[in-house]
Structure 1
Amino acid sequence: MRTSRPVLAVALASAATLAFAGCSSSDDGGEGTPAASGSATDCTPDGLQTLTEGTLTVGASDPFEPWYVGEPSSGEGFESALVYAVADELGFAKDDVEWTSVTFEQIISPAVKPFDVAAYQTTITDERKGAVDFSSPYLTSRQGVIVADEGEFADAASLADLKGAKIGVTASQTSLAVADAAWGDDVEVTPFNAAGDGMTALSSGTIDAMVMDVDQGVAASTVYFPDTHVVGTLPPVGEPEQLGLVLDKGSSLTACVSAAVDTLEANGTLDELRTTWLKSDDVPELS
């Protein structure tokens, strides 16, 4: 699962499509925490009903920056570090965390999961909450616009500057709806099965810009496709896009995992992880 540039075309497929309580239940009206049973005394390795007793099994797909640097088990990258921080809150040592490779489709499908929790840039939506449980959100995401350094739109600084452009998005991901809301018929939208396919098309001049999660876009343009750069983010549509850890629908672990995420938000750990691994704070919103 080691990342390389050729792997990115597959790995980027799941881009972000590529928020203080104890361990207690909440109704499904909350943004990230579906109803789940649990109490403070349950949130320990001895009390949690994991797939393997004493082990937290975590699902992830092909790793890429800034979410995973090297193997998911490295602890390097935002989501790898997040998983180990959540595990620590639940009382699991690093050696008690086992990683398993899954597809994005496995993560969001209603089928029984081969993991206790998955960390793979999964946007919380009402539709997905019908099939899986989400933890409290750990990141509010934005959709970024990436252009070629030498392309016609290299100096774009507004939505109007991109009028007439061929815009790539990832099919069936949130980037499609946000791009449609931003430009309507002023641009030609081209869906790609994977964000990496779109970035390859951008580098070759087949499209003029690519829309994807801005944190992923910053990494893509600096690590994998250095002939591109992020010009800005698109205006948000509807409720903020938030990412959550994914669990089986009705999982007994959901409340405890959410409580761990809430604690990490409250004590500043999530802010520290965002500062360390995500580099999008200075990216402006296009208007």
Structure 2
Amino acid sequence: MRPSPILSRLVPALAVGALVLAACGSDGDSSGTSDTLAPAGTDAAPGAEGTTAPIGGCGPTIDDGVITIATGAPAFYPWVIDDDPTSGEGFEAAVAYAVAGEMGYDAESVVWVRTTFDEAIQPGAKNFDMNLQQYSITPERQENIDMSLPYYTSNQAIVALDGSPAEGATTVADLKDVKFGAQVGTTSLQFITDVIQPNQEPFVYDDNVGAKAALEANQIDAAVFDLPTALYVSGVEIEGSSVVGQFPADAGGTTDQFGFVLEKDSALTSCLNDAITTLTDNGELDAITQEWLADFTGAPVITVD
């Protein structure tokens, strides 16, 4: 492969992985669910039929006295650590328990189930009260399901191999001589050209597969992805790579917002939105984000001033 600046043509588009699908849409299987995890200290698992009396002023849930929350099968780092949402470790696991608490459900009253990505956003009855798997909030999805207010706004991040000149950067000025690559037509490419503005024009690829291949082959110094994709690429796909930096969410105006999925016209949606608003206003969501998506991942914030 010999990519040239502005437009390079590599392999045909392939699925990037579970995390990327979650951020940008999904090609995943739309069938079936996996195991149900009972709340801590109980042996019972919830059923998926019927509704019950509300707790804490919220609407009814599908099972009496508990709130059923769904995640992926499997769920990936850093969203859920070790694929165990009951631990409360990982960004989305921690968010789920914080939100449930605001809605009146303590940790012992949270039940976890698994769904595929596509399954959860299909119209119809659900086997969960709410589901979080990095679902981007879009008008198209909201035609079939309810989506909550955002609990996370994604930002751009840099993935590089060990020893890359991008390592150690603290400002965009430190990145001027770095050779970047990104997928054509993405906010990541726009971010490189509009915000980073490197001295050399970025290498442009038909898809993320091409950008990753170029990075592995040392044809570029670094690739830019949204942070969820960057974490998956570095943690699962490219050995010897890491997220060497991330940018403020408001930098460049290129953001993506994640929300919970609920059944269409769910009686819980308003209560869930109130909980997210409270956690946003009191700073708890920011603290969870800092713990699991900044401090835990070890990706420093690169300033753009």
* Same fold by TM-score greater than 0.5: yes
Q: Which has the larger radius of gyration?
A: 2
Instruction: Kindly indicate whether residue 2 of structure 2 is the aligned counterpart of residue 14 of structure 1.
Output: no
Number of aligned residue pairs? 245
Instruction: Please say if residues 147 and 231 of structure 1, whose CA atoms lie closer than 8 Å, have aligned partners that are also in contact.
Output: no
Which residue in 2 is equivalent to 1:178?
Answer: 187
Q: What TM-score results when the alignment is normalised by the length of structure 1?
A: 0.67
Unaligned runs of 5+ in 1: 1-8, 19-41, 170-175
Post-superposition shift, 1:230?
2.7
Instruction: Please say if residues 59 and 119 of structure 1, whose CA atoms lie closer than 8 Å, have aligned partners that are also in contact.
Output: yes
**Aligned counterparts of 2:303 and 2:228: Cα–Cα separation in 1:** 14
Amino acid in structure 1 at the alignment position of 2:141? R
SS at match of 2:276: helix
Which residue in 2 is equivalent to 1:104?
Answer: 117
Post-superposition shift, 1:13?
3.5
Which residue in 2 is equivalent to 1:191?
Answer: 207
| 1:145-224 correspondence to structure 2 within 5 Å | 145-150=158-163, 161=177, 165-168=180-183, 177-182=186-191, 186-192=202-208, 202-203=215-216, 205=218, 209-214=222-227, 217=230, 221=234
- 1:110–1:200 CA distance, 2 compared to 1 (3 A): farther
Please point out which of 62, 75, 81 is paired with 1:69: 81
- 1:241–1:227 CA distance, 2 compared to 1 (3 A): closer
Instruction: Please say if residues 244 and 300 of structure 2, whose CA atoms lie closer than 8 Å, have aligned partners that are also in contact.
Output: no
- 1:145–1:79 CA distance, 2 compared to 1 (3 A): same
- The structure showing larger relative contact order (alpha-carbon pairs under 8 Å, at least 6 residues apart) is 1
Q: What TM-score results when the alignment is normalised by the length of structure 2?
A: 0.64
Sequence identity percentage: 33
Amino acid in structure 2 at the alignment position of 1:69? I
Instruction: Kindly indicate whether residue 71 of structure 2 is the aligned counterpart of residue 60 of structure 1.
Output: yes
Instruction: Kindly indicate whether residue 158 of structure 2 is the aligned counterpart of residue 125 of structure 1.
Output: no
Post-superposition shift, 1:256?
0.6
- 1:90–1:77 CA distance, 2 compared to 1 (3 A): same
RMSD (CA atoms): 3.8
Post-superposition shift, 1:286?
6.2
**Aligned counterparts of 1:267 and 1:190: Cα–Cα separation in 2:** 42
Unaligned runs of 5+ in 2: 1-15, 26-52, 194-200
Instruction: Please say if residues 140 and 243 of structure 1, whose CA atoms lie closer than 8 Å, have aligned partners that are also in contact.
Output: yes
